[in-house]
Amino acid sequence: MSMIPLVGSERPARDGAEDVGAAEPKERFVVSVLLRRRSANVLTARVARLREGDRSEEPMTREAFADAFGADSADAGVVEAFARQSGLDVLSQDLPRRTVRLSGTAPKFNAAFAISLRRFDHPSGAYRGHLGPVSLPSELADLVEAVLGLDDRPQAEPHFRIRKAKPPGASQAAATSFTPVQIARLYGFPEGDGAGECIGLIELGGGYAQADLAAYFAGVGLGAGPPVLAVSVDEAANSPTGTANGPDGEVTLDIEVAGCVAPSARLAVYFAPNTDAGFIDAVTAAVHDTTNRPSVISISWGGPESAWTAQARNAMDSAFQAGAAMGVSVTVASGDNGASDGVAGGANHVDFPASSPHALACGGTSLHASGGVITREEVWNNGAGGGAGGGGVSTAFPLPPWQTGLSAVSGKGKSQALTRRGVPDVAADADPETGYQVRVDGADAVFGGTSAVAPLWAGLIALINAERGAPVGYINPLIYAHPTALNDITQGNNGGFNAAKGWDACTGLGSPQGAALAAALAE
């Protein structure tokens, strides 16, 4: 049988990992196979018009999108036949999401995709990976865009920071904190409660306790708070670990921030495994969800672009493009490790999926206020080990039209015109020293990180959608067309880039002037 390498499926071992032998031969695991779209060129042209700011076409319904651009059942049939011939079980087929899920053992997947699955030891935990690219038989080569889940290393990390207690005798004067309700007021969010909207939250582990949410929302004066629904993806579930400084912190932070901003919106929390397959399956589940129908999706997880395979990046970006066509906005945290994004070597890196041009990348500021008014706002950068807002220039995605003519100012003060996608687009308070009051695992704490910014912006978009009576959808071109509806942040740096007048690679266009932005987008 002729086997053809799947472009972009290569994945080197993690730095510091040791190959300790063949993958466990009896362990069964699940792989997601992503199929090509029907009429892909038509969708590409439609999204290109949206990138240019053309709003003449109404957003498609999820049902209409599935009919026009889902996978072809014949393609799915070819993949399923191949799987059975290879001794793999077909668990599910989802044509709108273009996904066929296969179950089997390492030897069966090795033979099916001409790979060598191995076990790797790493200081942060063992994982399964493969040597060389995934290969496909010739009859599948034109049908399959990605094979995800063969490698089960953690794909992303949550982007939050918990304020650390200061040692005895240290000054406490600089630290303050706000409820998300107070932050929304400081940013002038429009009146309203998001009734009729659904906000989707993507989570890759952990969970929430209903008792925490009930106590928290009552404590900030919101009564019972919003209805919260846990949605299982790839057999994951709401599973609190009892550790705030872990995924529970992320899950609960997202719910409490979004719920404070839009307390009558429904919150659908999509739980998935922290793998490339799980992450992408969670996003496609939310984008194509015909039950909950979120109009905005918030993502507070990510990792350096270089930590993703090209096939996985393309699959995620394709899911965001589908969302754009259906009027679904996507907000994504830009990371908490400054311009390096936590990658050793001294080079600048941006975080993905924030760097997708079809997502609204959310950076971080340090917010200071007095008497209910913002007195100072600058780039969040607490120095080595303290966290800083992620931002920079993508190496994977081209320059979107709404960033044409913009420049990034390096830490040395040199201005260079953008030639590729710049990150972030917008910002808001992310400094744990001026952070968000939350309740996680039965205890009160103060959180920061760009993880708080993505659900804050998602809540704002839900308010705007409810006020408009229609989704704003792919919001990036609209925001760049109304820069005066944001607070321009001109002070500070993120370790690789400086703040500057207008867009910069630390805080994008700035933090929201909520009511002004709502008015600008009311057209």
| Confidence at residue 168, expressed as pLDDT on a 0 to 100 scale | 58
Q: Which amino acid is at 2?
A: S
pLDDT, mean of residues 449-475 = 97
Choose among 32, 491, 458: nearest CA to 266: 458
Tokens representing 452 are 């708080």
Pick the catalytic residue from 94, 250, 377, 504. 250
How far apart (Å, rounded) are the C-alpha atoms in residues 337 and 392? Answer: 12
Q: Which residue has the higher pLDDT, 171 or 369?
A: 369
Which is the catalytic residue, given 254, 281, 378, 431? 254
The pLDDT of residue 25: 96
- 451 labelled catalytic: yes
CA 354 to chain centre: 6
pLDDT of residue 66: 98
pLDDT of residue 167: 61
Total residues belonging to the chain: 523
What values do phi and psi take at 326, rounded to 5?
-100, 10
For residue 192, pLDDT beyond 80 = yes
What average pLDDT score do residues 255-262 get? 98
Residue type, 332: V
pLDDT at residue 85 above 70? yes
pLDDT value at residue 384: 78
Query: CA-to-CA distance for 208 and 202, rounded, in angstroms?
Result: 13
Higher pLDDT, 300 or 244: 300
What are the DSSP E strand ranges found in 354-494? Answer: 360-370, 373-379, 392-398, 407-409, 415-417, 420-423, 426-429, 434-440, 443-448, 486-487
pLDDT of 172 above 60: no
The single residue listed with the structure tokens 């997708």 is 356
pLDDT band at residue 244 under the 50/70/90 scheme: confident
Residue 521 pLDDT > 80: yes
pLDDT value at position 203? Answer: 98
Is the pLDDT assigned to residue 252 strictly greater than 80? yes
Does the annotation count 250 as an active-site position? Answer: yes
Q: Is the pLDDT of residue 379 over 80?
A: yes
- Compute, in degrees rounded to 10, the torsion defined by CA atoms 401, 404, 410, 413: -160
Tell how far CA 402 is from the center of its chain. Answer: 20
Q: What is the pLDDT of residue 242?
A: 87
The ranges of the chain annotated as CATH 3.40.50.200 are 157-520
Distance CA 260, CA 213 (A): 11
Mean pLDDT of 367-380: 96
pLDDT single digits (tens) 9-28: 999 999 899 999 999 999 99
With a CB cutoff of 8 Å and minimum separation 6, the contacts of 182 are: none
- Over range 137-143, report the average pLDDT: 96
The CATH number given to 157-520 is 3.40.50.200
- Taking residues 216-225, what's their average pLDDT? 96
- Mean pLDDT on 188-212: 97
Per residue in 92-104, pLDDT (tens digit) is: 999 999 999 999 9
Rounded to whole angstroms, the Cα distance separating 418 from 408 reads: 7
**Alpha-helix residue ranges (DSSP H) falling in 86-227:** 106-113, 180-186, 210-219
**260: helix, strand or coil:** helix
Mean pLDDT of the 476-494 span:
97
Annotated active-site residue 355? The verdict is no
Burial class (CB within 10 angstroms; exposed 0-12, middle 13-18, buried 19+) of 449: buried
